[in-house]
Amino acid sequence: MELDTAAGGNFLSIAAWKSLGKPKLRDPDTRYQSATDHPMPNLGSFTAMARHAQSNKDCNITLLVLSIPKLNLLGRDAIKKMRISLDDILHEENPVNIIDKVVETNLAQECRKLCESFPNLFTSELGCLKGYELEINFQPETKAIFCKPRAVPIALQEDLNQAYDAGISRGIWTPVQFNSWGTPVVPVQKAVLPGTWKANLRVCGDYSVTVNPRLKTHRHPLPLPDELIRRLGGGHGFTKIDLADAYNQIMLG
């Protein structure tokens, strides 16, 4: 069990409930929400006699069984009843380091297995989305627009030149001497990543003044955030995939 001084109730996973012999559950009479305002599936509750090894204090505590794996928490009520000293626990010899080491080891192993299973997804190369080409259709009688480059701060010029060279070497851009279309560049500094001392520079094009107004309107626009949130309603675990330079991994036609 983990201690959670921010929780008022005591929570138990289905696996832990089964290991206790499946005590009879009372119908849920309380609703709980997570920190992200998602409902927590409460299957019921039961009362059990509990004892903390250090305090040697027996007491009855109410445990709520949730269908969330590995969520076994003792809240403030149980901590008080069992007279658990948080000060003693926090000042045990290297308790935090041991926990962190276990979590880090398990996470590292799972990440390593994932990288070994899909080696092509975790290479340093840019890559390209296979079997798909984004079709761009212009409005009738569209004329090419050429905008002169905008002034770039001196402090960013060296980083911008390096970003240009990196993009050309990776096949993102092809140098030309003359072209009918010309879009001004907007350099964007990314956040400083952990373990680094300098922010990366993303090279973006301001297509709002050239290409975008002259494109045909898509008949299937992207869903709005409110619609996406409704689709995620009722979920309990969420994750996302952050592709590096994803906007440069789609072929344009």
Last residue in a domain, options 90, 120, 147: 90
Termini Cα distance of the chain: 56
Q: How many domains does the chain have?
A: 2
Q: What is the DSSP track for 124-157?
A: SS----TT-EE---BPTT----B-PPPP--HHHH
Residue 84 in this model has a pLDDT that exceeds 80? no
Q: What pLDDT does residue 96 have?
A: 37
pLDDT at residue 25 greater than cutoff 80: yes
pLDDT higher than threshold 50 for residue 94: no
pLDDT at 98 > cutoff 70: no
The pLDDT, as a whole number, for residue 136 is 86
Inform me whether the pLDDT recorded for 101 exceeds 50: no
Residue 29: what pLDDT? 73
CATH of the domain at 77: 2.40.70.10
CA distance 24 to 18: 11
> According to the model, what pLDDT value does residue 53 have?
64
Q: Are residues 229 and 138 in the same domain?
A: yes
Between CA 211 and CA 136 the distance in angstroms is 10
CA proximity to 185, closest of 199, 172, 169: 172
Domain edge (last residue) among 32, 60, 90: 90
Does position 105 have pLDDT exceeding 50, yes or no? no
pLDDT of 90 over the 50 cut: yes
Q: For residue 184, give the amino acid letter.
A: P
The whole-model pTM stands at 0.48
161 shares its domain with 83: no
pLDDT reading at 32 higher than 80: no
In a domain, 86, yes or no: yes
Residue 97: pLDDT above 50?
A: no
List pLDDT tens digits, range 199-231.
788 898 999 999 999 998 877 778 888 888 888
- Give the structural domain span for 63: 2-90
Out of 63, 90, 117, a domain closes at 90
- Cβ neighbours of residue 200 closer than 8 Å, sequence gap 6 or more: 189, 190, 193
Q: Which of 8-12, 107-111, 116-120 has the lowest mean pLDDT?
A: 107-111
